[in-house]
Amino acid sequence: MNEYDVRVAKVEGTHVWHVHRDTDEFFLVLDGELHIALREVGGERTVRLARGMVFTVPRGVWHRPYAPVPTRILLFEPSGTLSVGDAHDDLPDHVDATTGHAL
């Protein structure tokens, strides 16, 4: 909608540390459980989101999502936003670097 995409992603396991320099990123857990590790001033912390919970990662904050079980999440972000951000750690084979797939 407008210049934004609403995306649904099926995730499991550990994503890669990455950062979106120019956009916040909104997460809603549809099913399952999502942990988001955040590198903040003063140290690292992890937010744990159960089904129905939401969190917005502010632009510029390095983060790494992790799903301990098969999980579906809804994301809201500007069209073209890359799933691994503008900068990221080395990409393991299982990580999908994408701006989204058509349904």
Binding site residues, its own copies, CB under 8 A: 1-2, 4, 6, 23-26, 28, 30, 52, 54, 56, 59, 74, 76, 78
Query: Least distance to its own copies from the beta carbon of 82, Å?
Result: 16
Pick 55 or 66: Cβ nearer its own copies = 55
List residues bridging with 18 in a β-sheet. Answer: 63, 88
Burial of 24 by CB count in 10 Å (0-12 exposed, 13-18 middle, 19+ buried)?
middle
Asked whether 95 and 25 are in contact (CB, 8 A), the reply is no
Structure tokens at 50: 């159960």
**Closer residue to its own copies (CB): 77 or 84:** 77
Closest CA to 77 of 99, 48, 97: 99
Least distance to its own copies, CB of residue 30, Å: 7
Minimum Å distance from CB 73 to its own copies?
13
Q: Which is nearer to its own copies, 13 or 78 (CB)?
A: 78
